[in-house]
Chains A and B, each alone.
Chain A
Amino acid sequence: MSSDLFQYVIRLGDNALINGQRLAEWCGHGPFLEEDLAMTNTALDLIGRARMLLTYAGELEGEGRSEDDLAYFRNEREFRNFHIMELPVGDFAFTTARQFLVDAYDYHYYRALRDSADATLAAIAAKTLKECEYHLRHSSEWMVRLGDGTEESHEKITRAVTGLMPFTPELFAADEVDRAMQEQGIGVDLDSIETSWNQEVDRVFSEAMLERPQISFTRGGGRQGLHSEHMGYLLAEMQSLQRAHPGLNW
């Protein structure tokens, strides 16, 4: 097996898993019933995507690890998700802005990944893209609603976007795994994803009456397993049940 491919797949799986875990924290706490359901649906889509990718990663590795082994029995430094996924949920504006920035990335990413030379990844991408399309429609709509809404909602979404933008360059910072996968026609071209993402963000920001903030610093390292202080708490909550009762089923 190619360890580059394993790395590539597990990163995708971890991004979906950690984003889904964060979004699921809203379950029962949404601003109103309908949006609570909508966010939980999206969280379930993300966890479903993580299951497909982590299962595939386990097969590629060939050491008999299942999706659950990978999700619940790896430690912080073994997770490969971007920092933007692990940031705490914050308020509704922060969650909305994170989803929008990530949904726009996922939409263009999985669109390109449909043409992967790896048949399994191409099939997962084709299935995932349909969900991404809906997620992006939903979060784009909320960006406009909050940005072009009341003075208070505009102020809250502006604050959210300002806090999140420094975490976006990491999404496009290709390393040797990304480059090797792209050369083999398996991975996507992150430069072209960045171009499409920028256009998408600019289009929605302009409709939402939002200025694109200048970034004065960035954070990254998720690809190498370097995380923020928030990651340990997230894993403690997500993994506690399986760690206390290994192999537990229902």
Chain B
Amino acid sequence: MPDKRLPLWEVFIRNKRGLDHKHAGSIHAADGEQALQYARDTYTRRNEGSSIWVVKSADIVASQPEDEDSFFEPAEDKIYRHPTFYDVPEDLKL
């Protein structure tokens, strides 16, 4: 029996020009055009958006919890990778 549920889509909204698209949530829709409309109706009702991206949740490749040790832990003791490790000369204009 075929799966009759509509596919899940992740919604990304940019609320102002120049800012990044941010994950807003997810919705169900049959295809991209419908996903865009439902994203608009669900997440921009209170004037939150100026641009919407939708992407099929199934197309997102996500890291797994069991990857945590090998993916993220090695960065913990590399403090020299943070800009705070360096002394910024006083006369440097940022």
Cβ B33 vs Cβ A141 within 8 A: yes
Q: Scoring A residues 32 to 48 as 1 if CB is less than 8 Å from chain B, else 0, what string do you get?
A: 11110110010000000
Instruction: Report if B28 contacts A (CB, 8 A).
Output: yes
Q: Are A38 and B38 also in contact (CB < 8 A) when A32-B6, A141-B33 are?
A: yes
Within 8 A of B (CB), among A3-40: 32-35, 37-38
The residue in chain B whose Cβ has the minimal distance to the Cβ of A42 is: B41
Cβ A145 vs Cβ B30 within 8 A: yes
Interface size of B as a range:
10 to 19
Number of interface residues of A (CB under 8 A): 12
DSSP majority for the A interface?
helix
Within 8 A of A (CB), among B46-84: none
Within 8 A of B (CB), among A47-70: none
Cβ A34 vs Cβ B30 within 8 A: no
When distances are taken between beta carbons in the complex, the residues of chain B under 8 Å from A33 are: 28
Cβ A141 vs Cβ B28 within 8 A: no
Cβ A34 vs Cβ B33 within 8 A: no
When distances are taken between beta carbons in the complex, the residues of chain B under 8 Å from A37 are: 38, 41-42, 45
> How close is A171's CB to chain B, nearest CB, in angstroms?
25
> How close is B3's CB to chain A, nearest CB, in angstroms?
15
When distances are taken between beta carbons in the complex, the residues of chain B under 8 Å from A35 are: 38
The residue in chain B whose Cβ has the minimal distance to the Cβ of A145 is: B30
Total of A-B residue pairs, C-beta within 8 Å:
27
A32 to B7, CA, bound (A): 13
> How close is A142's CB to chain B, nearest CB, in angstroms?
9
Q: Scoring A residues 134 to 149 as 1 if CB is less than 8 Å from chain B, else 0, what string do you get?
A: 1001100100010000
Within 8 A of B (CB), among A80-108: none
> How close is A2's CB to chain B, nearest CB, in angstroms?
37
A4 to B55, CA, bound (A): 52
Cβ A34 vs Cβ B45 within 8 A: no
Q: Select A41's contact among B29, B30, B41, beta carbons within 8 Å.
A: B41
Q: Select B29's contact among A34, A134, A137, A138, beta carbons within 8 Å.
A: A34
Cβ B42 vs Cβ A137 within 8 A: no
Cβ B30 vs Cβ A138 within 8 A: no
Cβ A141 vs Cβ B45 within 8 A: no
Cβ A141 vs Cβ B41 within 8 A: no
Most chain B CB within 10 A, of A32, A33, A34, A138, is at A34
Q: Select A32's contact among B28, B33, B45, beta carbons within 8 Å.
A: B28
The residue in chain A whose Cβ has the minimal distance to the Cβ of B38 is: A34
4 extra A-B contacts, CB within 8 A, seeds A34-B29, A141-B34: A34-B28, A37-B38, A137-B37, A145-B34
Q: 27 pairs across A/B with beta carbons < 8 Å? A: A32-B6, A32-B28, A33-B28, A34-B27, A34-B28, A34-B29, A34-B38, A34-B41, A34-B42, A35-B38, A37-B38, A37-B41, A37-B42, A37-B45, A38-B37, A38-B38, A38-B41, A41-B41, A41-B45, A134-B40, A137-B37, A138-B37, A141-B33, A141-B34, A141-B37, A145-B30, A145-B34
